[in-house]
Structure 1
Amino acid sequence: IGGTIPGIPVVLTGRSSALGWGITSSYADDQDVYIEELNPDNSEEYRTPDGFKKFAKRASIITVKDADPITLTLRWTDNGPVLPGSHYNLAAITPPGHVAALNWTALDPADTSIAAAMQLMEAKTVEEGITAGEAYIAPSQNLTLVDVNTIAMKTIGALPARDAAHQSQGRMPTPGWIAANRWQGRLPYSANPEFLSPRGGIIGNTNNKTVDRPFPNHVSFLWGDTQRIQRWRNLMQRRQVHTRDSFIEAQLDTVSFTARSLLPLIGAELWFTGETAPEGTSERQRQRALTLLAGWSGEMNEHLPEPLIYAAWLRALQQRLIQDELGALAEEFDHVDPLFIERVFRDVDGAAAWCDVLQSAPKETCPDMARMALDDALIWINETWGTQLESLRWGDAHQATHDHQTLGEVPVLRYFMNIRQSTSGGDNTLLRGRTRGTGPDPFANVHGAGFRGVYDFADPDSSVFITSTGQSGHFLSHHYDDLAQLWRRGEYIPMSLDEELARAAPVGITKLVPEAE
């Protein structure tokens, strides 16, 4: 029992009577882009370490409604499929007479990931679960496992074996005809990070860095989290004994470690300074905002104004810090990088230089930038949400967007298909609610936990779960969105494997019968 993807016959995160498992993205560097040189005398060939070689080719026919079919010729190199120059603007970095190709573990023709997942469902112990993970190829995940005696976390998925002489270490596109840039197969499964029954008896992952190994045996150059893991550790260390309810509390926690650590830094010279400004002035609005933030706990609660003020301030601050140095490239950084801002305001290795605007004659300080950024944020808030700061609600700006991927853009239908909910949490809270970062609604909640589960192996039938919408994918069904409000409020439903309990009140029974050969 647990969370599945329609059409895939496996429980990706869930439990059996003997084993519980969950997955988080490992952020493994399992993709490389290569620049392949075409033979100037024959464009059907590309350069390899051993000379020119013909592309592998296959025709793909795409049928189009009310139109003639389109035939595309797909090409492969030894490094992987050739990508169109329009993908991610690859043409901008691809020289004339060259093409780009992608090598990715998920393109392995002998992908046994589904078989591995099915084997995991049959595992009875943590050790058997780890063994099942060896056949898993992609996309790489951190697999957390628990049985009645043991806990563990194992990175599953193929990790490329790269040459120590790789020109870019996989971080940038490289010439595909240079042997040192090509993958040397994959690392052995035993080399994947593994944590088995650690001291203290607790394992967790928030997409944070798990190991620190130098290239080429590293896992990733870019991890998904540096902040939420700090709050998780704090909650885990508060108790000597944890219960199902304390784990639910952690799963629903909305306190931002980032807010608690950065606000004292960026506001150090702004709190309660100067005389009270006249009502209606920008100075007075700034003082009101600072007064609210000074008494705030850092809880990203949907009903509070402080999370919106804080989020808008941090966003405006990073924009001011990088705009003059990066120009148009600054627009690519659409989410706040907490470590960058901390380094700047602590002046780590001279990072406070980012506070000075290069194009201006005065030398701006970091408190200057913090003050101006707060004014920027308040102007945006005033224009978007109104001038009454105390009446703001974070949940109005942080609505969860459960959009139907196919019918969500169809006029009229979209009002039935798409689900909108005011939500707590944010980019850096354990109750994840990653914001869009761009556009007119930069704080819309566009990425969160579609499935939450807490499994108690002291009393397995007390385990609970919730999904963010409902059990049915049909928008006319009562079960299309009947779990959505429970999910929003942080409530759960029972997760029992007792068949008699399930049969006691079914709304119907669906049988899937394989077609006879």
Structure 2
Amino acid sequence: SFADIDDSAHPLSPFAPRGFAGASNAWAAAASRSASGGTLLANDPHLGLSAPSVWYLARLELGSGGVIGGTIPGMPMVLTGRSDRLGWGLTSAYVDDQDILIEELNPANPKQYRTPDGFKDFEQRDSIIQIKDADPITLTLSWSDNGPILPGRFRDLETITPPSHVAALSWTVLSPSDTSVSAAIGVMKAQTVAEAITAAESYIAPAQNLTLADRGSIAMKTIGAIPRRDTAHQSQGRMPSLGWQKENRWQGRMPYATNPGFVSPAGGILGNTNNKMIDRPFPNHVSFLWGDTQRVQRWRRLMQAREVHTRDSFIEAQLDTVSFTARTLLPLMGAELWFTGEAAPEGTPERQRQRALALLAGWNGAMNEHWPEPLIYAEWLRALQDRMARDELGPMADALTHVEPLFIERSFRNIDGAASWCDVRQSAPVETCADMARLALDDALLSINETYGTQLESLRWGDAHQAHQDHQVLGEVPVLKHFVNIRQSTSGGDNTLQRGLTKGSGPNPFANIHGAGYRGVYDFADPNSSVFVISTGQSGHFLSRHYDDLAQLWRRGEYIPMSLDEGLARAASVGVTRLEPLK
């Protein structure tokens, strides 16, 4: 049965690991905030890094004209890019579009489940999986009215599912009439912001924030189905609920007009970093959980720092490595440590702590690959959260692979008594957050010494924060892996606009494994000045010089031009490859 398949760590699981949801940045400026007098748009979607990249640069010729930008091979559309008149970009909207519902089985017939109107047969289908050098496996797939039945071992669902019950998944992406592809093609054909918003109405899932700019206006619209829930829903979708209770079942989708949208804002600037966009009470909410509370703070600062923006200022923001998190937390963590203590002999923990604090005191928070401070800060923060959480959570603290900045900040500011997290409950003394900060810094410096064994001043963040762009098929093959995998020192971090999400666990916890595989900046005062880049190259063949020729440009924060003018494109080409069907 399907229960033989384990959770998301299983290679056959269709579910991504927790903690690595899609993310992105997108922002736009109206002509009134542009030095060139034309609208501006920037977008860099964040996905898991791989070689070849998920993204492929392409130009498509439609009946409505040419479009150019980032595509995903196999999908007949430019997902982020521009036409001659319109630019568009995507960020993950974090819409609350999944619910788990517990279905009660019929004691007399386990192929039936309870509904508001009595027992009903599951829809079932056998799926045969062929396995090389082994017998095939037959999986029996089942569906209720609420969605597909999940295996009990997935995310340990069986531990919360009563006997004679199963869990079903309601998810907008499972819609039987998904018109998302045709909607995306409609956006490509649109000539104005208004036309693009109208075309996106039939988009279903996964929900996105669509950022738009035409030659005269800018807009942002959340596209995708938002479930309509009953005000009497037992758990508001936050926890598994009873699937046979009518009030827990979805009642269609919310009207598209109620999806968050912002057209031609008065300030002339709009953007999204997966941050909270709108605050509405249940059941009109968009989400209970958002993807960013940190990057947006730095983005606002950069946008407000200039009266007018340019293509280059948008590029500068896209490549910004300053961590708002570091600038917020370090003053709290070091409040009782900066420039204190007596002189200590070389080689002592006290002396090492003083050297680390002296470096951090003069640091501006930039997660620069060439500097030691980002690594010291990252190790310190990681050790601090572990010390604060482990005595309360025990082994469950292992699940906290990434630092939660708001948890640290609220604890150090003692918001609603959160400073109690700093006290080690299993010890008699009452430890303060300053005590935890000092102990965690010593932990971090010990870990750095054991891992790198070098002077603090000689450390490089980029040595720990290498981008792991690995081949998904050949990346583990001995010898061959050295040819197909692309490893590069990179700047940025978990909460910088130039995002490089760290792995969070294992022997290389700061490895960069999730970031902007595509970057694009479009200037509609001079559309041909727009720039693009992907993180590897255009070829999927590791022996091709185009397998990784864009990777160094991407790492250095450089871009390439692309033009909708076919003559210009052919004039600069290095060759032409023709794909022709067999006669």
TM-score, shorter chain, exceeding 0.5: yes
Residue 411, structure 1, aligned to residue 473, structure 2: no
- More off after superposition, 289-298 vs 505-514: 505-514
Aligned to 2:82: 15
- RMSD (Å) for aligned C-alpha atoms: 1.2
Opposite residue 177 of structure 1, the aligned amino acid is W
Whether the 8 Å CA contact 2:392–2:425 is kept in 1: the answer is: yes
SS at 1:455's partner residue? strand
Paired residues for 1:279-298 under 5 Å: 279-298=346-365
**Mapping of residues 5-404 of structure 1, within 5 Å:** 5-404=72-471
After superposition, the C-alpha distances for 1:114-136 in whole angstroms (9 at most, x for unaligned) are 10111111000001111111111
Matches of 1:90 and 1:418 in 2, distance apart? 36
Q: CA deviation at 1:166?
A: 1.2
Distance 2:574 2:181 in 1: 30
Q: Distance in 2 between matches of 1:89 and 1:403?
A: 29
5+ residue gaps, structure 2, are 1-67
Q: Which amino acid aligns with 2:522?
A: Y
Q: How many aligned residue pairs are there?
A: 516
Q: Distance in 1 between matches of 2:376 and 2:291?
A: 25
CA distance in 2, matches of 1:515, 1:33: 47
1:509 maps onto 2:582 in alignment: no
- CA distance in structure 2 between the partners assigned to 1:394 and 1:194 by the alignment: 39
Q: Report the Cα offset of residue 387 of structure 1.
A: 4.1
**Residue 510 of structure 1: how far off its partner (Å):** 3.8
Tell me whether 1:481 sits opposite 2:555 in the alignment: no
Can you list the C-alpha shifts for 1:238-283, whole angstroms capped at 9, x where unaligned? 1111000000000000001110111011100000101111111111
C-alpha change, 1:514 and 1:12, in structure 2 (3 Å) is farther
Amino acid at match of 2:327: R
Amino acid paired to 1:233: R
2:271 counterpart SS class: coil
**Aligned counterpart, 1:436:** 503
Shift in Å at residue 95 of structure 1?
1.7
* Paired position in structure 1 for 2:15: none
Q: Structure 2: how far apart are the matches of 1:10 and 1:439? A: 37
Q: Looking at both structures, which has the greater relative contact order when contacts are Cα pairs under 8 Å and sequence separation is at least 6?
A: 2
For the residues of structure 2 that align with 1:83 and 1:514, how far apart are their CA atoms? 41
Q: Deviations over 1:269-326 (max 9, x none)?
A: 0001011111111111111100000000100000000000001111111111111111
| CA deviation vs aligned residue, 1:304-362 (integer Å, no higher than 9, x gap) | 00000001111111111111111222111111111111111111111111111111000
Partner Cα distance (1:409, 1:51) in 2: 52
Question: Structure 1 residues 300, 417: closer, same or farther in 2, change over 3 A?
Answer: same
- Which runs of structure 1 show a deviation greater than 4 angstroms over 4 or more consecutive aligned residues? 511-516
Deviation at 1:179, TM superposition (A): 1.1
| Alpha-carbon contact 2:105-2:112 (below 8 Å) kept | yes
Q: Which amino acid aligns with 2:175?
A: D
- 2-side partners of 1:455 and 1:62: how far apart? 46
Counterpart of 1:372, as a letter, is L
Question: Given that residues 126 and 141 in structure 2 are in contact (C-alpha distance below 8 angstroms), is that contact kept between their aligned partners in structure 1?
Answer: yes
In the TM superposition, residue 513 of structure 1 has moved relative to its aligned partner by 5.6
Within 1, Cα distance between the matches of 2:392 and 2:155? 24
Superposed CA deviations along residues 70-95 of structure 1, whole A, max 9, x for unmatched, are 22211000110111112222222222
* Secondary structure class of the residue paired with 2:173: helix
Residue 190 of structure 1 aligns to a residue whose secondary structure is helix
Counterpart Cα distance in 1 of 2:579 and 2:206 = 28
Q: Which shows bigger deviation, 237-246 or 473-482?
A: 473-482
Measured in 2, the distance between the counterparts of 1:354 and 1:510 equals 61
Aligned AA (1:202): I
Letter in 1 for 2:549: D
**Cα distance in 1 between the residues matched to 2:353 and 2:363:** 15
Q: 1:494 aligns with which of 532, 536, 561?
A: 561
Larger deviation, residues 480-489 vs 315-324: 315-324
What code does the residue aligned with 2:72 have? I
Give the aligned residue type for 1:503: R
State the AA in 2 paired with 1:208: N
Deviation at 1:509, TM superposition (A): 2.9
Aligned letter for 1:108?
S
Indicate if the aligned counterparts of 2:562 and 2:569 stay in contact, CA closer than 8 A: no
1:386 and 1:103 map into 2 onto residues whose CA distance is: 51
Q: Aligned equivalents of 2:312 and 2:408: distance in 1?
A: 35
Moved more, 59-68 or 199-208: 59-68
- CA displacement 1:140-193 (0-9 Å, x = unmatched): 000000011010000001011111111111111111111111111110111110
Amino acid at match of 1:173: P
For 1:476 and 1:114, how far apart are their aligned partners in 2? 33
Residues 22-67 of structure 1 show CA distances to partners (whole Å, capped at 9, x for unaligned) of: 1000011111111111111111111111111110011112222233
Once the 2 structures are TM-superposed, how far is the Cα of residue 505 of structure 1 from its aligned partner? 3.2
How far residue 436 of structure 1 moved from its aligned partner, in angstroms, is 0.8
Aligned residue runs from structure 1 range 455-470, under 5 A: 455-470=522-537
Shift of 1:19: 0.5
Distance 1:253 1:507 in 2: 33
Amino acid at match of 1:468: S
What secondary structure sits across from 1:58 in the alignment? strand
User: What SS does structure 2 have at the residue aligned with 1:473?
Assistant: coil
Whether the aligned pair in 1 keeps the contact of 2:339 and 2:358 (CA below 8 Å) is yes
State how far apart, in whole Å, the 1-side matches of 2:287 and 2:581 are: 41
Larger proportion of strand: 2
The offset of 1:68, in angstroms, is: 3.4
How far apart are residue 469 of structure 1 and its match? 0.3
The letter of the residue matching 2:176 is P
2: CA distance, partners of 1:310 / 1:79: 46
In the superposition, the TM-score normalised over structure 1's length comes to 0.98
The percentage of aligned residue pairs carrying the same residue is 76
Change in CA separation of 1:515 and 1:117 when aligned onto 2, cut-off 3 Å: farther
- Counterpart code for 2:182: A
Cα offsets for 1:178-217 (capped at 9, x unmatched) = 1111111110111110010101111111111100111111
How far off its partner does 1:456 sit?
Answer: 0.4
Give 1:105 deviation, angstroms.
0.4
Q: Which one-letter code corresponds to 1:385 in the other structure?
A: Y
| 2:57 counterpart residue number | none
Query: Residues of 2 paired with 1:264 and 1:499: CA distance?
Result: 54
Equivalent position SS for 2:474: coil
Runs of at least 5 residues in structure 1 that lack an aligned partner in the other structure: none
Compute the displacement of 1:512 (Å): 5.0
Provide the C-alpha distance between the structure 2 equivalents of 1:336 and 1:397, rounded to a whole number of angstroms. 17
**Shift, 1:7, TM fit:** 0.7
